[in-house]
Amino acid sequence: MAASGIVFVLFVLVHMYGNLKAFSGEVAFNEYAHHLRIFGEPMLPENGLLWIIRIVLLVSLVAHVGSAVALMRRARAQRPVKYQVKRNNASSLSSRTMRWGGLTLFVFLIWHLLNFTIVKINPAGDQSADITENPYRLMVSSFDLWWMTLIYLVAMLALGFHLHHGTYSALQTLGWVNSASARAKAKIAGWVIAIVIAGGFSLVPLAVLFGVID
Ligand code: HEM
């Protein structure tokens, strides 16, 4: 779970950084998107890097969900009778929302890929190639819709909670949370990663909605 989680953290960090190119304008953003497709040519074929990333992400997703299911089964086997008392306060909001948050992120990812990568749906209605084949235009016309921005902001909230608790758990798995001060530092690390990544991702939809990017 921790190893596949680290792959995801690295991916979302780089993806978030790449999205900020939108603040440099349409040409810079689309050039960056195009560069990703021809990266490593002629050593790699066109889209070669992209396919390597896709395969690594898919394998990580299978490992991540598989580990989550195995952990849930193990926890259930240890405690066949449900808790009769309220959960204690030590379990933070983000730890309790890991399963639902993870599921929310999975549903978001399916919509996200249909929207921007696999089908290239423009929810604003104009399905002409001028928009759907232009990553920047597709993004701007999507986030011009308040409800699309809202969906993304809710998803980024789920991502923030998931990253916060996931980072803490991964550090624990790696054996780095073995004292009160290490626990406090691991929590801070979780918040920093969550705020930088989820906050960074939220900037582009918000900038489009408020007309800073158009
Ligand atoms: C506000 C948040 C986000 C925005 C604006 C955004 C934007 C985009 C855009 C424009 C593309 C298409 C790029 C292209 O055609 O070159 C894309 C692809 C993708 N995004 Fe996001 N993204 C966001 C959040 C996320 C998150 C949180 C994840 C993961 C959980 C994610 C995973 C992906 C994946 C896997 C691809 C497909 C890459 C490929 O196979 O071509 N994105 N995103």
pLDDT at site 150 = 98
| pTM score, whole prediction | 0.91
pLDDT tens, position by position, 1-27: 989 999 999 999 999 999 999 999 999
Question: Ligand 1 mean position to 96 CA, how many Å?
Answer: 26
Check pLDDT > 90 for residue 97. Answer: no
Domain boundaries, the chain: 2-209
Question: Ligand 1 mean position to 165 CA, how many Å?
Answer: 22
Question: Ligand 1 mean position to 11 CA, how many Å?
Answer: 10
- The rounded distance, in Å, linking the Cα atoms of 120 and 127 is 9
Across 139-160, b (16+ Cβ under 10 Å) vs e yields bbbbbbbeebbebbbebbebbb
Residue of 204, 146, 193, 199 whose CA lies nearest to 18: 204
Class of the CATH domain delimited by 2-209: mainly alpha
Q: Which residue has the tokens 């969906």?
A: 151
Pocket of ligand 1 (CB under 6 A): 12, 15, 19, 33, 50, 54, 57, 105, 109, 112-113, 116-117, 135, 139, 152, 159, 201, 204-205
% of the chain residues with pLDDT over 70? 92
- The rounded distance, in Å, linking the Cα atoms of 88 and 98 is 16
